[in-house]
Structure 1
């Protein structure tokens, strides 16, 4: 019970309530076996042509290093993300709520991206390095993370002139929003909040907690230009200042 309470307080995750847990027993196989029945399915290990027996390849048996350069169809990705946006849009109360939910979805993806990149780094390097300064970590997000997720590095990194705790990642043509048409009444919406969630998760995992948001910053040359704004927590700024001495 203590575990359930701890999980429910985390802003990124949610658990079933006590009331809903009590109803799960009605969905158990034992309870539903008398009401529903399915014909026995053939075994996955089927006889192939010529009398040879083969097994279906398991995705968990793949070598993650060999799939480093594997690409996903752009049309399939665009269709999937479009469905995610439309599904989420029907369950929100406004633009801010929609961006928050897209950010949360991106955060969950970002935790897995970081885990995969760390695993690959430790598997291919004899002395893997963990960045303790913010700028090198930001550069790795700009190049390695962006290329791993979107197939290309981001276009630029900028630092705010007015606020020392704010940094920006610039993407002139985000692949994630390339095929999304936003209605005029929702012109303030930035679907790149999904990308902002990925960046926030990676920064949290690396030990640089920050609040990350996405903003539309179009210009004449790049109408889909997007800025990912990173606002670091004060603890990160204090540590950076201490490491300078």
Structure 2
């Protein structure tokens, strides 16, 4: 006998239950939808594979792309808010698109860890210790499928930008307080993919 209007969750068919999630997460898709989609994916791959090995390779390629962030802002926000705290103990202070170019973005940190307590001679006044971080960012972008274009010496570069007020050393070799800005210049292929994604989203 049912004592309330709420159905017994154990009485539901398993294909109608949502995929189990970690505590606190909100279910977003039913198991039946997942099973149907995955079944169609396998059928699609089987029709185009000449052997079991090729079928597995096709599925492997799909799986490789599953967790990749497809949009420029997604990967930049990941670096700004997830990778940065893991590397330096806090999120970067700013993330902006350059005013002059759609394919250029800037990640800024007003007190970059690698710029602290660095003592260099006056002849190296323009030296920016944050160049090592530029290399880290370029590596993360490349690994995620967002290559930076090569123009001149570096496609991802570090720059010291003087901040108003305050003393002490920042990201550069000068005596004033400065912020370190990582300038990213994306490859044309990245921007073409981004344009295609935006076009598909608009329908």
- TM-score with structure 2 setting the length: 0.56
Once the two structures are superposed, what CA deviation does each residue of 1:79-121 show, in whole Å capped at 9, x if it has no partner?
xxxxxxxxxxxxxxxxxxxxxxxxxxxxxxxxxxxxxxxxxxx
Aligned Cα root-mean-square deviation (Å): 1.3
Partner of residue 235, structure 1: 189
Match of 1:215 in 2: 159
What corresponds to 1:150 in structure 2?
Answer: 88
1:120-199 matches, within 5 Å, as 129-199=67-137
State the secondary structure of the residue aligned to 1:168.
strand
Larger % of helix: which?
1
Structure exhibiting the larger radius of gyration computed from Cα positions: 2
Q: Structure 2: how far apart are the matches of 1:236 and 1:228?
A: 18
Structure 2 distance, partners of 1:185, 1:158, is 31
User: What is the CA–CA distance in structure 1 between the aligned matches of 2:180 and 2:130, rounded to whole Å?
Assistant: 7
- Looking at structure 2, the residues matched to 198 and 233 of structure 1 have their Cα atoms a distance apart, in angstroms, of 17
Preserved contact between residue 174 and residue 224 of structure 1 (Cα < 8 Å): no
Aligned length: 118
What's the TM-score, normalizing by structure 1? 0.46
Structure 2 unaligned runs (5+)?
Answer: 1-65, 149-154, 167-176
Superposed structure 1 runs of 4+ greater than 4 Å apart: none
**Residues in 1 aligned to 2:120 and 2:99: alpha-carbon distance in whole angstroms:** 31
Conserved in 2, the CA contact under 8 Å of 1:142 and 1:154? yes
